[in-house]
Structure 1
């Protein structure tokens, strides 16, 4: 269980640094915007190149991915239905809400938990690749279309994800992994150094927003926040467990890996996307906070029941 506490404690400390810097007026909301843009346009694409180039991309074709995908589809689908028929959210806000309810922290939290709790960091690779290559490009394409006020031509819709820096970084990493090519050190070393800025930039920016932004739930619907958090922490792992255990027949440690990765909290980069496009930023911020705290007892319970 030490890996769970270590992963969450590391994130909490770095977020706390952002809160402290904002409280001491060392930085302001403009600095938060700069850090978010740095993470979105520069550091995160570099991180994706390095991370995915070392991943076992063949694992994305495993049957386990079916269960993971089912949890994502059920969670995002339920939120979208509620956003459309109950809260009447716009396209951009609904997209951020759906991502908040289904996009897990597979990188800076999923990797250490997979390493220390599950015993193998590669177990998070299917979820990471699903999000990087399918869910994130799709969400960013919708956000781009919403920001422009129109979807554009079919060609523009199809090519828009490939004009996004995060998608390009992810695809470059996958190409390297599939081909076995290795970047020369003159390129890999700077990319690695830049990529190392991604997670700290996201977390510090998130801490600044916590301190200087609206209070928890004050700028949005408390019911909506409770819904996104509940969907993420309860519905998504429950659907993944049902599909894996009863429809696919996964057992033992493999089943635990699927359910634990589905129960990870909402990823910090959803807040970066929300900030970048100016959509549902408070909902994304608060869902990340609640699910990050709530995931600790949920993952401990899952490890005790299925481990």
Structure 2
């Protein structure tokens, strides 16, 4: 359990640095915007190239991926249904809400949790790759379409993600992994340096927004926030458990790995996307905060029940 606590503590402290800098007026919301854009356009794509080039992408085709994907689809789908029929949110706001409800922090938190709690960082690879290569490109396509007035064709939705820097970085990393090619040092070294900047930039920008933005629950719908947080913390891992255990017959340590990765909190890069497209930023920010805090007891409970 020490790995879970270490991972969450590290994230919390870096976020606190951002909040402290904002409190001392060293930075402002303008700095938060700059950091978010830097993470979106430069650092995160570099990180995707480096991360995926080293990953075993064949794991994404494993049967266990079906359970993790089911949790994502159900949690995100429930939010979309409510957002469009009950709260009448726009396509962009609905997309960010769906991401907040189901996109797990498989990178900077999932990797240490998988290493320390599950014993192997590879357990998080299927979820990581599914999100980067399937879920995120689709979501970014809808966000791009919404940014252009929502009048784009299906062809636009299908092709637009592939000019997005995050998707391009992911595809390059995937190609390197599948072919076994290795980038020359003069390319890989600066990419690694830029990639190392991605997570700290996201966390510091998030901390600034926590300090200078509206207070928790003071903007937007409280019911919406409760919905996104509940879907992420409880519905997604429950669906993943059901599909893995009952439908696919997975048990033992493999089942634990599926449920733990599904119970990870909402990823900080969802706030970066929300800021980049100026859609549902407060909802994304608050959901990340609540799920990051709430995931600790949830993961500890899952580990106690299935470990």
| Runs ≥4 residues deviating over 3 A | none
User: TM-score, normalized by length of structure 2?
Assistant: 0.99
Aligned to 1:176: 176
Are positions 1:52 and 2:52 aligned together? Answer: yes
Cα-to-partner distance string for 1:73-120 (whole Å, 9 max, x where unaligned): 000000001101111111110100000000000000000000000000
Aligned to 1:126: 126
Asked whether the equivalents of residues 133 and 170 of structure 1 are also in contact (C-alpha less than 8 Å), the reply is: yes
Aligned to 1:206: 206
Are positions 1:26 and 2:26 aligned together? Answer: yes
Q: What is the CA–CA distance in structure 1 between the aligned matches of 2:149 and 2:172, rounded to whole Å?
A: 29
Aligned to 1:77: 77
Aligned to 2:270: 270
For 1:155-170, list aligned pairs within 5 A.
155-170=155-170
Q: What is the CA–CA distance in structure 2 between the aligned matches of 1:185 and 1:156, rounded to whole Å?
A: 36
Asked whether the equivalents of residues 145 and 156 of structure 2 are also in contact (C-alpha less than 8 Å), the reply is: no
Q: What is the CA–CA distance in structure 1 between the aligned matches of 2:4 and 2:157, rounded to whole Å?
A: 40
For 1:183-222, list aligned pairs within 5 A.
183-222=183-222
Asked whether the equivalents of residues 232 and 263 of structure 1 are also in contact (C-alpha less than 8 Å), the reply is: yes
Structure 1 residue matching 2:214: 3-state secondary structure: coil
Asked whether the equivalents of residues 95 and 142 of structure 1 are also in contact (C-alpha less than 8 Å), the reply is: yes
Structure 2 residue matching 1:117: 3-state secondary structure: helix
Asked whether the equivalents of residues 151 and 157 of structure 1 are also in contact (C-alpha less than 8 Å), the reply is: no
Aligned to 2:232: 232
Q: What is the CA–CA distance in structure 2 between the aligned matches of 1:153 and 1:87, rounded to whole Å?
A: 25
Structure 1 residue matching 2:118: 3-state secondary structure: coil
Aligned to 1:65: 65
Aligned to 1:283: 283
User: TM-score, normalized by length of structure 1?
Assistant: 0.99
Q: What is the CA–CA distance in structure 1 between the aligned matches of 2:254 and 2:208, rounded to whole Å?
A: 38
Query: Gaps spanning 5+ residues in structure 1: where?
Result: none
1:153 deviates by 4.0
Figure out how many residues of one structure are paired with residues of the other and give that number.
307
Structure 2 residue matching 1:256: 3-state secondary structure: helix
